[in-house]
Every structure is written in C-alpha cells, then in structure tokens.
Amino acid sequence: MPGAGAQTATESISAEDQELYRLERVTSPVPTDRNTVPHAQGVRRVWGVSTEPAFIENLYANPAAADAWRSTSGLFGGLIFASNEIDALKVHAEVEQDALPADTWAQAYFGSNYAGGYLLGPELHLLCACDVRGASDALRADDSVKPYVIDHTVFEQVQYSLADLSQLGQEIRRFLDESDLRSNGYGTTIEANVVELFVGPQSTAGLEQEVANRFAGRPVRVTAQPEDVAPTVSKTEPLIFNLVEGGQAMDNSSTGLPLDCTSGFAVQGGYGPFILSAGHCGYAGNSWYQGGSQVGVQTSRNFGGYFDGSLITTYGYRNNYGHFHWNANYYGESISFVQNSNNIVGQSICQTGYKQTGLDGFNTTCGTTTQNNYTPPYGDTPFQPVMLLSNYGTIGGDSGAAVVWPTALYGWGAVGVHSGGNSTVGVDSRLDYILWIWGIQLTPP
Amino acid sequence: MAPKEVQLMVFTFQRGSGVRRKAVAGISVFAMVLIAVVLQSATARGGDPALFSIDSFSAQLRAGDTLNVTGSGCPPTGSLPSEDALVLRLTPPSGGNAFGPSLIDGSVQIVGTTAASAGEAQIGVSPNVDGTFEAALPIPLDAPSGAGYTVRGICTSLLEAGGGQGGFTQTSYDSALAFAGTLDVEGPVEVPPIFIG
C-alpha cells in the first residue's frame, strides 16, 4: 500500500491529494453546450491552467483517455482538469485560501488609493493608484499574512483607485437611467482598472458611441456579449424564493382591477413582517397579490393625520426582501439609510410607482422636494402639515410606492411612501414618521 | 310666498346641517313637502344661480361614450391663477380617488390620491362669461358596468387664499365643490360571432 503522497503506476494524483481535495476520476463523456468551453476558459485562466479550446473539449469528450479529474466538493472552480494540472491548481487554491488578510492589509496600507486585488494563476495582485515601491517589504513585516502568500504577491501601480471607479460606475448608471439606455449592466474590472459596460443584442443601438462621447477620456470599456445576459424583471413578475419588496405592482383583490397600487417598503415590527403601502389603497382585511401569488392581508390603514399608510402582513405568505425594484435591470436595490425628512427639502427624490415609471421602471421619475410641511386636500381625516411635496409627476397606480433619494456616496436613502399628486407634483408620507408612529423598521437588506 | 321659502331652504342647505335644522323647524309643512321634492329631484347642491352647481342628470351610457354635463355659478376667472377654472371628474361607484384643490406656490392645483381606479376621468373646463358651462365628459374605456357613477366638480375661480383646508378659506372651499349624478354605465355592446363556412 502506498504511503501518503506516494503515487502508484495507476494513480496519476497522490492519494493524499485525492482525499484532501475529494477528487474523483471522470471516466464518462460529459455533455457540453455552447457555453461550456467559454465558461471553462474563463475559469481556467484565473486558475492558471490551459485555456486551449481543443484541450478542454477533449477533457469533456474523452475524459478517461485525457486522465480527467474533478473535485466532488466543487473545489478548483468546479473544473474538470487533467492530472498534470493539479500542481498549478493547488498553488492557486492555497494562495486563495490565505489571500484575504493580505487584501485587508492592502486596503489599510493604501487607504483611499487602494485599487483592488485579484488572483490570477499562482499570484495575488494588489493594486494601488500610487507608488507601490516599498509595499512588498511593508507586507512582509506584517505577521497576519502567511509568508507563502507574500511570496506569491505582486504589487501593481495603476491610474485609478477603487473609489474612483466606483464613482464612475455610479455616473454611468445615472447616465443610462436618465437617457433610458438599455445595457447588460456594468461592473468594475479590477484587473484592467476600468469600469466595464456590457452590451448585448437587445441593448440600445449606438450605446457604445453614446458612452464613448459622454465619458471620453475616462476608464470605461464597452464589451459586447453574444446574449442579453442581464435578466430583466418587471414590477409584476415574482422574484425567486417567494420574495416581495418595495416598488412592485400590487393587486387588491377586492377592487376587481388587475393592479391597484405599488408596494412601498418591506418592514418589520413586533407583529412580524409587513409590506408598507398607502393607506387609501385598501382596507383592513383586503387580500393583496403580486406576481401571481398573495402578498398577504392588509392589517392597518391610516389616511389622514400624519401619514397615508397601510401595512400588509406577509407572514405565512411571502418572504420580505429589504430591497426595492428600481427598474427591470436593477430590481433588488438595497437601501442604505432612512432619510430624516426634516432636511429633505431641496433634494432630488424619485418615486417607483408602477404606472408612472412603467412596469419595467425605465421611465425614471424624479423631482425636487419643495415642502416638508404640505397639507394635501384629501383624507379620511384632515392631514397635519407634515407631508412632503415634490415636483415629480404621478398617475393612478403609483400610490404606495417607495420614494427614494439616490446619493452618489451612500447609495439609496428611503424617504417616503407615495400618496398622491398630479402630473406635475407628487405627495409623499414621510417614512421616518410612519416607522416611528407605527413602531416598525425597515427589513434589513 | 312659497317660492321665497324654497329659495331660502336651498340656501340654508348649502350652509350646513346645523343651520338647516333650525330653518326647517321654522317653516310650514307645505314648504317642507316642496323642499323634499327639490332635494329628491336634484342631487346637485343648490339651485341658486349665484352658487356653483352642476345640473342634475340621469343617464345610461357605455364606456367610450361622452356624458354631457352642464351647470352654472363658476366664473371664468378668479383671483388665483389656475390651469383650469373648472375641473370635472367622473367618479366610479367604488368611490375612486380622493381629490381636492390645493394652493401650491400661489396657484390652484388639483391634487388627488393616485390608486388605480377604473372608470375615473377628469377634464378641465372653461366656463362661459355668465358662469354657466357645458362639457363633454368621456366615459373611460375601462369603466366597469354599474350604477352610481357621479360627477364631482371644483370651481377654482371661486377659491380665495386663506388658512383653511388646502390653503383656502372655508367658505370659498365649500362653495367651490359640487357633485351631481347619477350615471349608469352599461355593459359593452355584444358583437355577434362571425360564422365562416
């Protein structure tokens, strides 16, 4: 019987490695589709092994002859690999295992100039928009990072910090939203030190040129993709895991209409989870639906005084998701903070009502808040002069919608619940008042 | 004598139920009969030409038709700027959205709740010089069949800035609102099937 680490004539990978990485031979051909090889190439590049298409195809088609293996635990990126690639994979895996302390160290050491880190083959690359001379010695002096990782760390000087690229990403996103341009989404590509915008067949024609014009001289790269890989979800479609969130079109089954109002925010309190919407949209006991399944039953209605709000208990029906539907591309936006509406006047806020913004949400509807002491001319009882008035338009169906404040630095702020208005003004209840008076809080993202 | 008493009665009805009860207690049984007839035959508030009112109507129409609405007491111009001197809104039997006038930046705007509401329609109207008006109010294509549609109106030219609801004085606010009805919306016309063969 061979000892640990020994190899027999029939075992091309040691028994120790087989056990440690839970490896098994692949003996039968593995079905592939047109995405298999491109996907494998991408993963293999990162792991530092061959990206040759013919080699990869042979591993799948003739695994026994190619001496193909894989980890039953999904290690090594789930790759099917040849036995002679195991050493390269192990190096990458071990660097990856202990890379986090080095990356954390780099963030602290480089501060606001930190430009990210990435693994490629056997190396950990740490980037800075600064002079990186001396960084390697400084890292070596840090006890929290294993010497093995330090030996495989490469420092790179780049032009843009991660904060620069994040800021640029927000600008691109606003540009796309405000210009109603459709894309496959964008992301920061650390390795290339750029923001990468992806376009597919259904993306807006001429988008590449539009972006080139708008962001000339900025680190933006447009990459064409063969498919529209970014899934779109409308405000009437259900989310996975039976989730329900703000900004979705809802149906009150008591009215006979297909859609009645828009959801505000996912909230929770001592009585459990709720979806917050507008009070005038329904009455206690009404059943509400979204995406073909029940959101829950309305338990509360307040239409006058300090706010126009309702609570729909989702307990036993849906899972509360502390996010909101901005548009069909960004339908799981997280909320960073609840805005204190005492100082919201003069700020630009946006409503997410399904009617005005459209079921895809692409008709972005924002305006400036002009009053935080407005009294609307309606209500079961007179309103106190505490409502928000803004100069954005609204149509029937928007009521209850999440009203949010987009900020470049801090993300989305939750401002209010849409109540009413007309084609030129919007009226909202202050979210901070509703949360305070009803003793509830936003469901954490 | 009787006509005077009826006019008085209609006026007091405009001013609130408490005043109305006192007035009713002081008039003859004969006049009360007349009053009852007036109230049943006209759901519009008031018959005094000096006050804003929408003429009573009773109609049976289909979605896509137009309802002719007439009335009086709404001057074409007022003391406050507004987009429309008169706003008429068809309200479905379910009640539809709440709405009202609101003084925003010195101008009168109609502001309402914004739930989806089938059968709701709103138009702006320019009254005649003498305060009368005629308007064709479209019955929305999504109007569900049913009885009990009403027309509500806000005469913005009667509004004066003040500290009351919506930023207007209570008297002007009350006198600027009126409603009339009722309208029955019938089901869609059935088209006979086409037989081929």
Cis peptide bond N-terminal to A364, omega within 30? no
CATH number at residue A308: 2.40.10.10
Q: Which residue in the set B94, B100, B105 is minimally distant from A377, CB to CB?
A: B100
What pLDDT was estimated at residue A409? 72
- Indicate if A349 and A394 belong to the same structural domain: yes
Mark yes or no for CB contact B104/A425 under 8 Å. yes
- If one counts the domains in chain A, the total is 4
> Which residue among A382, A394, A397 sits closest to B165, beta carbon to beta carbon?
A382
- CA nearest to B166 within chain A: A377
Helices assigned H by DSSP within A111-242: 135-140, 147-151, 162-178, 207-214
Alpha carbons within 13 angstroms on the beta-carbon side of residue B188 total 9
Closest residue in chain A to residue B163, using alpha carbons only: A375
A19 phi, psi to nearest 5 deg: -75, -45
Domain boundary among A134, A157, A180: A157
**Distance, CA of A224 to CA of A243 (rounded, Å):** 32
A342 is a domain residue? yes
Same domain membership, residue A404 and residue A259? yes
Q: How many CB pairs under 8 A join A and B?
A: 84
Does the predicted TM-score (pTM) go above 0.90?
Answer: no
Rounded distance between C-alpha atoms, residue B28 and residue A288, angstroms = 54
**Which DSSP string corresponds to A298-354?**
EEEEEEEBTEEEEEEE-TTT-EEEEEE--SSS--SEEEEEE--GGG-TT-EEEE--T
Q: Is B165 on the interface with A (CB under 8 A)?
A: yes
Task: Determine whether the interchain pair B118/A376 forms a contact, defined as Cβ–Cβ distance below 8 Å.
Answer: no
User: How does strand A68-71 pair with strand A23-25?
Assistant: antiparallel
Q: Looking at chain A, which residue has its C-alpha nearest residue B119?
A: A257
Q: Extract the tokens encoding A5.
A: 């680490």
CATH number of B53-186: 2.60.40
Q: Is A419 on the interface with B (CB under 8 A)?
A: yes
Nearest-by-Cβ selection for A355 from B97, B100, B116:
B116
Which chain A residues contact residue B110 at CB under 8 A?
422
Looking at the structure, tell me whether residues A269 and A398 fall in a common domain.
yes
A341 in the same domain as A278: yes
Are A390 and A433 in a shared domain?
yes
Amino acid code (one letter) for B70? T
B141 interfacial to chain A (CB closer than 8 Å): no
B113 and A418 within 8 Å at the Cβ level: the answer is no
Picking from A64, A94, A124, the residue at the C-terminal end of a domain is A94
Shared domain for A171 and A298, answered yes or no, is: no
CB contact under 8 A, A394 and B114: yes
- State which residue of chain A sits closest to B92, comparing Cα positions: A255
Average pLDDT, chain B: 75
CB atoms A420 and B114 under 8 Å: yes
- The answer, for B98 touching chain A at a CB cutoff of 8 Å, is yes
Contact A129/A159 with Cβ under 8 angstroms? yes
Whether the CB of A428 is below 8 Å from some CB of chain B: the reply is no
CB atoms within 10 A of CB A15: 17
Is residue A389 located within the same domain as residue A339? Answer: yes
Residue A382 contacts B where some CB pair is shorter than 8 Å: yes
Chain B residues with CB under 8 Å of A257 CB are 116-118
Nearest beta carbon to residue A376 from set B94, B102, B105 = B102
In a domain, A366, yes or no: yes
Of residues B33 and A15, more confidence is placed in: A15
Average the pLDDT over B115-122 and give the result: 95
Residue A255 sits at the chain B interface (C-beta within 8 Å):
yes
Q: Which chain A residues contact residue B166 at CB under 8 A?
A: 375-377
pLDDT at B25 over 60: no
Looking at the fold, whether A311 and A407 belong to one and the same domain comes out as: yes
List the one residue out of A245, A249, A263 whose CA is nearest residue A323.
A245
Predicted pLDDT of residue B46: 38
Judge: A256–B118 Cβ closer than 8 Å, yes or no: yes
Full strand arrangement of the beta sheet holding A68-71: A23-25, A68-71, A81-82
> Which of A307, A356, A388, A399 is best to mutate for the B interface (most B CBs within 10 A)?
A399
Do A195 and A253 lie in one domain? The reply is: no
In this structure, is residue A1 part of a structural domain? no
pLDDT higher than threshold 50 for residue B6: no
Residue B24 has pLDDT above 90, yes or no: no
Q: How much is the pLDDT for A99?
A: 84
Q: Is residue A10 part of a domain?
A: no
Domain boundaries, chain B: 2-41, 53-186
Beta-sheet strand order (sheet of A220-224)? A186-189, A194-199, A220-224
Q: How far apart are CA A162 and CA A156, in angstroms?
A: 13
For A366-408, the pLDDT digits (tens) are 999 999 999 999 999 999 999 999 999 999 999 999 999 988 6
Locate all alpha helices (DSSP H) within B15-165, ordered by sequence.
17-25, 29-41
**Which residues of chain A carry a pLDDT beneath 50?**
1-9
Within an 8 Å CB–CB cutoff, is residue A359 touching chain B? Answer: no
Question: Tell me, what's the pLDDT at B190?
Answer: 57
Q: Which H or E run includes A124?
A: strand A123-128
Assess whether pLDDT exceeds 80 at residue B38. Answer: no
How far is CA B16 from its chain centroid?
17
pLDDT at B188: 59
Domain of residue A137: give its range: 98-157
DSSP A127: E
Residues of A in contact with B102 (CB under 8 A): 376-377
Q: Are residues A406 and A273 in the same domain?
A: yes
Residues 6+ apart with CB under 8 A from A355: A262, A394, A395, A396, A397, A398, B114, B116
Q: Could you tell me which residues are beta bridge partners of residue A118?
A: A125
Q: Are residues A374 and A389 in the same domain?
A: yes
| Residue B73 Cα, gap to closest chain A Cα (Å) | 22
Q: Which amino acid is at B94?
A: S
The distance of B94 to chain A (nearest Cα, Å) reads 8
